[in-house]
């Protein structure tokens, strides 16, 4: 069961990476307007947010990721889906001016916090597994999350700058997700075995 979850988890990394690359193409061809970049952002928020929650359930069955990585994946998914819902509400279901300012503030704050959490979990994984590709991927993803937060701030006043920041964010996200999809990471058992051999040699 654990091996199956690990294999499916890597396919989930691939799926999220492909989503990021598809959104990057949409953004590259989108007009630098609030609506122009809002549509790709919504697609990204709902698609990647859903897969992030799927990833959390798969990671729960992977012993080396159970714990903080699962919590991070859930946080990722919830923040993205919430941002998508708020943007839809602020785009016409109610008075846009009523929700636009709170959306900007909440989105910028949440994405910044998620970026910090990425770094914390990367450090936790490094302590748990030693040098591993997941920690590197999470550090890259933290920069992507920070760029997403800044993009939310500039979305209404400077859509052109927001478009560039969103493009950078999804490309970094795609790169971060491709790394664990392409390269495996050690299990807890393998790490403990290697540490035990190193200790016995000394």
DSSP 126-146: HHHHSS-HHHHHHHHHHHHHH
How far, in Å, are 61, 65, 80, 114, 125 from residue 111 at the CA level?
Answer: 26, 22, 9, 5, 21
Rounded to two decimals, the pTM is 0.82
Write down the pLDDT at residue 140.
95
CB of 111 within 8 A of CB of 79? yes
Distance CA 153, CA 167 (A): 15
Write down the pLDDT at residue 194.
47
pLDDT tens series, the chain, 202 aa: 557 778 889 999 999 999 999 999 999 998 888 778 888 888 999 999 999 999 999 999 888 898 999 999 999 999 999 888 877 776 654 455 555 566 667 777 788 889 999 999 999 999 988 889 999 999 999 999 988 888 877 766 677 888 888 899 999 999 999 999 998 888 765 555 444 454 454 5
Write down the pLDDT at residue 195.
46
Burial 110-130 (b: 16+ CB within 10 A, else e): bbbebbebbbebbebbbebbe
């Amino acid at each position: 069961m654990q091996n199956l979850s690990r294999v499916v988890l890597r396919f989930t990394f691939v799926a999220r990476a492909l989503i990021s690359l598809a959104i990057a193409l949409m953004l590259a061809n989108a007009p630098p307007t609030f609506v122009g970049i809002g549509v790709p952002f919504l697609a990204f928020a709902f698609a990647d947010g859903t897969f992030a929650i799927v990833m959390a359930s798969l990671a729960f069955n992977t012993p080396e990721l159970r714990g903080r990585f699962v919590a991070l994946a859930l946080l990722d998914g919830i923040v993205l889906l919430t941002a998508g819902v708020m943007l839809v509400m602020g785009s016409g279901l109610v008075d846009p001016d009523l929700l636009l300012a709170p959306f900007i503030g909440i989105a910028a704050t949440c994405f910044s916090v998620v970026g910090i959490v990425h770094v914390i979990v990367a450090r936790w994984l490094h302590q748990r597994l030693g040098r591993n590709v997941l920690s590197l991927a999470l550090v890259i993803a933290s920069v992507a999350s920070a760029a997403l937060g800044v993009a939310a701030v500039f979305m209404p006043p400077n859509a052109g700058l927001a478009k560039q920041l969103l493009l950078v964010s999804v490309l970094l996200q795609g790169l971060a997700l491709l790394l664990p999809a392409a390269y495996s990471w050690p299990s807890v058992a393998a790490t403990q075995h290697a540490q035990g051999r190193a200790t016995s040699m000394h």
